[in-house]
């Protein structure tokens, strides 16, 4: 039987989600925990990758399990094996062919930025000391909406068939001492959100104009876009699936 697990984590101590040879990823610790509980090797498949230092409020992974279990008890057991900065939030049975990555219909990220130095936000938000015009940054962000080729904001060496994404929302909003950029799309390219944010900061600081931002989108060249902002401000906050894949 196949199950979807919901997971969240603080990514500060981890080299992203995926298993790696010489570093610890979140996936490794979850697989080790499940393998201890079921006393056999267990492999999981995540809804996507996150880079080193990126945080996650909601992600999913699927796993095939033959032995019966009580969901609440399993969640409690698995959480007891996991460190304090990783948590399992729920588990649901899905159709046998449901896939945590390929069945995802929409993903939402947030980027947290502060314009005031705050030691309590170290590792959780990016401190930008430059004056920023968030109104003009939102004007530029509107140009991202719809279906576009986002090669300008993708890592250069990435194994994808195309760079087309359907962006459904992209906007900066102030929340207390934070400015939060929320972006939703059907899919994201590797490094895309951090490159988009870095280029929007160039707009907000006056380094480039809104029209030049549009030219960067159309240019389909990573060298035209701005820097990748630090990972500490990035959060995967939501992954959505069609209801019909869930059995319970």
- Whether 202 is a known active-site residue: answer no
Burial 190-220 (b: 16+ CB within 10 A, else e): bbbbbbbbbbbbbbbeeebeeeebeebbeee
Q: How distant, in Å, are the alpha carbons of 43, 152, 191, 207, 213 from that of 131? A: 47, 25, 25, 12, 18
Asked whether the beta carbons of 34 and 3 are under 8 A apart, the reply is: no
Strand, coil or helix: 176:
coil
Q: Tally Cβ neighbours within 10 Å of residue 243.
A: 6
Q: Which of 51, 103, 133, 202 is catalytic?
A: 51
Distance CA 131, CA 206 (A): 9
Q: Quick one: tokens of 124?
A: 């959780």
The contacts of residue 125 (CB under 8 Å, 6+ apart) are 112, 113, 114, 118, 178, 232, 233
Torsional class of 4: left (φ above 0), alpha (ψ -120 to 50), beta (otherwise): beta
- As annotated, the active-site residues are 51
């Amino acid at each position: 039987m196949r199950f979807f697990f919901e997971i969240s984590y603080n990514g500060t101590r981890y080299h992203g989600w995926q298993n790696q040879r010489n570093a610890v990823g979140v996936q490794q610790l979850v697989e080790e925990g499940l393998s201890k509980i079921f006393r056999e090797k267990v492999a999981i498949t995540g809804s996507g990758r996150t880079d080193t230092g990126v945080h996650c409020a909601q992600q999913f992974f699927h796993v095939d399990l033959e032995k019966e279990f009580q969901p609440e008890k399993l969640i409690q057991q698995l959480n007891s094996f996991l460190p304090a900065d990783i948590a399992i939030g729920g588990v649901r049975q899905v159709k046998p062919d449901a896939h945590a990555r390929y069945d995802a219909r929409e993903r939402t990220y947030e980027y947290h930025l502060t314009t005031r130095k705050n030691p309590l936000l170290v590792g959780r938000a990016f401190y930008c000391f430059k004056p920023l015009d968030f109104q003009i940054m939102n004007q530029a962000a509107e140009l991202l909406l719809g279906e576009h080729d986002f090669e300008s904001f993708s890592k250069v060496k990435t194994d994808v068939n195309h760079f087309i994404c359907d962006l459904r929302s992209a906007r900066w909003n102030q929340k207390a001492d934070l400015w939060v950029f929320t972006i939703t799309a059907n899919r994201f390219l590797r490094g895309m959100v951090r490159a988009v944010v870095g280029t929007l900061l160039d707009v907000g600081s006056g380094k480039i104009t809104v029209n030049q931002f549009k030219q960067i989108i159309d240019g389909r060249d990573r060298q035209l876009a701005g820097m990748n902002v630090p990972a500490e401000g990035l959060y995967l906050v939501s992954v959505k699936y069609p209801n019909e894949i869930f059995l319970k």
